[in-house]
Amino acid sequence: MNAYSIEALRQAAKRRLPQAVFDFIDGGAEDELTLRENRAAFTRVRLLRKVLVGVSQINTETSVLGKTAKLPIVIAPTGAVGFGWRGGDIAVARAAAAFGIPFSLSTSATASIEKIAEAAPGRLWFQAYFFKDREFTFGLIERARQAGYDTLMVTADLPVGGKRERDFRNDFSIPFRFTPKNVLDFATRPAWALDMLLRGVPPLENLVGMAEMGTDTRNLVSSVGRNQDPALDWEVIKRVRNAWPGKLLIKGIVLPEDAERAVSVGCDGVIVSNHGGRQLDGEVASFDALPGVARAIGGKASVLMDGGIRRGSDIFKALARGAEAVMIGRATFYGVCAAGEEGAKRALEILSDELVRTMQLCGARRVGDIGPQLLFQG
Ligand SMILES: Cc1cc2nc3c(=O)[nH]c(=O)nc-3n(C[C@H](O)[C@H](O)[C@H](O)COP(=O)(O)O)c2cc1C
């Protein structure tokens, strides 16, 4: 694998996948303002370098939710990875274990909670979506506990699905269907299409057995969020807190007051996130929402962030603004779509190499040396 940047992996994924599948991964909601803003926010902040501190030894190890990780990176939960690469969830989980970082499994994954626990030896986190059938999710949470997952995150930014217009245009839906409109697109990638035809479309294994709770016409084409529970509120989180003995995070926080509320109901931290620009278009970049949340709860609870991480220097900047670690969604997703486990590992290798280099160039020998003093304030 000779890709030298996350963008190169993205291009390789684009070459392998039908447009509809690539767009599902790559795209955001409506005009994709927030998708672009997640990237743009990093480019607006400049670094400062401390020189002559001796940077022959760099240590990227850090504590994430109380346990050591080899890098300040966590794999973000992503659904439907198997559409991009059969067995892709396991491939990414193995890559994470090889790099000594946590892997988060999505409720909408194409591998079950138990399958991942069996196939990947590393630290596992589980992401919960709440559906109109709430008890179904409590059942998944109990299964994650029994399978040894140590951290649970509840995603709070998807009370309904975002309006993802690339999916409308491409006639892409989950469960995935071949339609007269999309079949031509699939024919342009015969290897991918043949695999799907011969071996079947990978099911969302954790959702097997969940009753369809009626069809919401707003989501007829873009099926994301169809069964989501728009009534989800802090009362449910309190119930989750009682049911889950491990670490608990809320994913999708941007307001400092919501972060404080999460801590007050017993959560161990939050993930500052806008779902990779896939939900509310026009909302603030995660990187720009980070400082407010870090000021509100930093020191008392863990603050992670995701959205737009494509470079090691992005990770550096997020840590300098107060994140304990970052989560990455598309970076490893592109990698696994390009070349399976090898591609996912390559994505982590690229980010790790860039982070180490940025630390060397900025004179930060340890993660603890990265702070606001290395950001140019103007
Ligand atoms: C294809 C795709 C599927 C996703 N599925 C989920 C999911 O099932 N649950 C969830 O909480 N977030 C999901 N996300 C959001 C990611 O967890 C994460 O917040 C986002 O990808 C971070 O932005 P980045 O892709 O720029 O790194 C998904 C993102 C993508 C790109």
Encode the chain (378 residues) as per-residue pLDDT tens digits.
889 999 999 999 999 999 999 999 999 999 999 999 999 999 999 999 999 999 999 999 999 999 999 999 999 999 999 999 999 999 999 999 999 999 999 999 999 999 999 999 899 999 999 999 999 999 999 999 999 999 999 999 999 999 999 999 999 988 778 888 888 999 999 999 999 999 999 999 999 988 764 434 334 334 567 789 999 999 999 999 999 999 999 999 999 999 999 999 999 999 999 999 999 999 999 999 999 999 999 999 999 999 999 999 999 999 999 999 999 999 999 999 999 999 999 999 999 999 999 999 999 999 999 999 999 987
Tell me the CA–centroid distance for residue 240 and ligand 1, in Å. Answer: 22
Q: Which of 9, 38, 78 to mutate to test the pocket of ligand 1 (most atoms within 8 A of CB)?
A: 78
CB 330 within 8 A of CB 297: no
Ligand 1 neighbour 280 (Cβ under 6 A): no
Residue 346 Cβ inside 6 Å of ligand 1? The answer reads no
Q: Is 6 in the pocket of ligand 1 (CB under 6 A)?
A: no
Q: What pTM was estimated for this model as a whole? A: 0.97
Centre of ligand 1 to C-alpha 331, Å, is 10
Give distance in angstroms: CA of 215 to centre of ligand 1. 23
Burial-class residue 318 by CB neighbours within 10 Å (0-12, 13-18, 19+): buried
Q: Is 25 in the pocket of ligand 1 (CB under 6 A)?
A: yes
Q: Is the CB of residue 167 below 6 angstroms from any atom belonging to ligand 1? A: no
